[in-house]
Amino acid sequence: MADRLKGKTALIVGAGQTPGETIGNGRAMSILFAREGAQVLCVDRVAERAEETAAMIVAEGGQATAFTANVTKADDVAVMIEEAKARLGRIDILVNNVGVGGGDGPAHRVEEAAFDRILSVNLKGMWLTIKAAIPTMREQGGGAIVNISSLAGIAGGNQVAYEVSKAAVNRLTTSVAQSNAAKGVRCNAIMPGLMDTPMAVAGIAQASGQEQEAVRAARNARVPLGGKMGNAWDTAYAALFLASDEAGFITGAILPVDGGMGSRIG
């Protein structure tokens, strides 16, 4: 194991993943952070998914435990933070990786229930988690928050709820960065572009009735850098940097990890 996060503790929310052929962002970040020396609390709304990630880390010789929480519920979040402090001693790193998009569509087609659900998970859940964690980070003299946003926050047009939620995550990130900088708490976000993750590829294939390879080929063709999607490890390494002391003078940044798609859009 390396030591870029040696001695650090990390609370990773959304550490499980939906079933699929590849690895998801939350699981990749959890594994990588542990490999770099962090003690990790893997949180997911589905207990088995969090436990599976934690078991993978322990099998490699890392330190991890699992916890179940629904971040749209303030009481769940409060218990999660107390559990993190009890198990980890402190919260050096918080990663917010919870997000959904099912049932979305253009503004004139999306149903109100789907809109509310997506905003509740993607935005409210992230805010509740940050709100609950920040007092601990301020009291301990600092911390690093990494929010997983999306390129959809600045480009798109056919997923109004998801796009609005991720645009709001970007502004939430900069607001939190400004209001907590004096206390040593950094807050940054990552905007993944087209990624070969279970939520993206398997989810689209299932919803559209296409084969996964057809979905991959279509998505690959849209990426400027090498004509190929990124993967969860690309997101994980970006998160590792932002969470580490190497990024100690970086806060309020919105980092694209998108193979050049964002720059092409402008």
- Active-site residue flag, 162: yes
User: From the candidates 162, 168, 199, 243, which is the catalytic residue?
Assistant: 162
Under 8 Å between Cβ of 35 and 65: no
Q: How many residues does the chain have?
A: 266
For 170, how many CA atoms within 13 A lie in the half-sphere containing its CB?
18
- Phi and psi based region of residue 60 (left: phi greater than 0; alpha: psi -120 to 50; beta: remaining): alpha
Under 8 Å between Cβ of 230 and 192: yes
Q: Output the CA–CA distances (angstroms, integers) from residue 97 to 27, 43, 122, 214, 235, in the order listed.
A: 10, 10, 9, 27, 11
Give 220's contacts (C-beta < 8 A, 6+ positions apart).
194, 227, 228, 229
For 47, how many CA atoms within 13 A lie in the half-sphere containing its CB?
0
Catalytic residues: 162
